[in-house]
Amino acid sequence: MRRHALECSFDGVCDRHDPPERPSDLESLRPATASQRDVQAVDRSPVDRKGPRYCRLYLNPPERALVLCADEKSQIQALDRTQPTLPMRPGQAERRTHDYKRHGTTSLFAALDVATGKVIGELHRRHRSTEFRKFLDRIDAEVPAELGVHLVLDNYGTHKTPLIHRWLLRHPRFHLHFTPTYSSWINQVERWFAELTQKQIRRGSHRSTRALEDAIRLYLADHNAAPKPFVWVKSADDIIDSIARFALRTSETGH
C-alpha cells in the first residue's frame, strides 16, 4: 500500500490522500461560451486536468499542514561588469555596461510557504538529486513534526530519482504535487525567484561565486525578516475560462 500511494503521488495527479479526479469533476471547468472544438482543445490541456489541484491547495490549504512551493534556480551566474554601474540621478536612469566577466555559478534551492511568505533556502554548487535530498532534510528539520508537508514541484528529473523515492518512503508526512508540463508558472516560488533576480542579482556585480552567494543569503534574510505571501486569487474556473478566451482570440480556425 505504501508503494502504491507513493507512485500515485509521482504521477502528478493525486497524492496519498486524494483519489484521482473523475472525468465528471472537470465538466464544470469547461467554458460555456466557447465552441465545442475550442472546448476540446482546452480539455486536452494539462492545466485543465491538473490545475484545479493547485488552486485548491492555494485557496483552501489542508488543515495541520504546510503548503510549500519548492524549486531550484540553477546555474545562477556570478557576473562582474567590466565598468562600475552608474546610479540613477534626476532625469537619468541607472546605466551599466553590456559586457561582463563570468566567475562561476551556483544553484539556489528554495521553498516558499504560501501562507506566510517565508522562504526556506539553501545554496549548492551542484544541482543533483543528492543536493535536493539535502534540501528535503532541511525542510524536514524546519517544519514542526506534527504538521504535514505538501510540496508543489515541477517535473525535473532530480525530483523523481530512486534516492528521492526512498527518502519519501521514510518520511510519509511529505506529499508531492507536480505541476503540469509547461505550467511552472503555477508554482508560486517562481514569482519569488523573479523578484530575487530583479532586485538583487541583475543589478549587482559579483566578482566571485562566494560574493554572489553572500548577496543571495542577504536578500533571503531581509525577505524573511518581514515576509509577505503572494495572494492567489484565481479559481480553476477563472483560469480555464481565460485560456479559452485566449484560444478564441489567437486561433481563427479554432485549432
For the stretch 46-84, pLDDT in tens is 545 555 666 778 878 888 999 999 999 998 988 887 777
Torsion of CA 103, 109, 111, 116, to 10 degrees: -30
pLDDT-based confidence at residue 15 (cuts at 50, 70, 90): very low
Greater confidence (29 vs 112) lies with 112
CB neighbourhood size of 142 (10 A): 12
Separation CA 149–CA 175 (nearest Å): 6
The pTM for the full model equals 0.72
Residue 93, pLDDT score: 84
CA distances from 101 to 155, 172, 211 (A): 32, 46, 14
Residue 213, pLDDT score: 93
Residue 155, pLDDT score: 85
Query: DSSP H helical segments within 44-182, as ranges?
Result: 46-59, 129-142, 162-170
Q: Which of 112, 177, 108 is nearest to 142 (CA)?
A: 112
Residue 44, pLDDT score: 41
Between 17-31, 35-49, 120-134, 135-149, the lowest mean confidence (pLDDT) is in 17-31
DSSP, residue by residue, 174-186? EEEEEPPTT-GGG
Residues in the chain: 255
Say whether pLDDT at 236 is over 90: no
Say whether pLDDT at 184 is over 70: yes
> Across residues 167-174, what is the average pLDDT?
94
Pairing relation of β-strands 100-113 and 119-124? antiparallel
Separation CA 157–CA 159 (nearest Å): 5
Residue 39, pLDDT score: 33
Percent of the chain's residues with pLDDT above 70: 77
Vertex 154: Cα angle to 149 and 155 (nearest 5): 115
> Across residues 88-107, what is the average pLDDT?
83
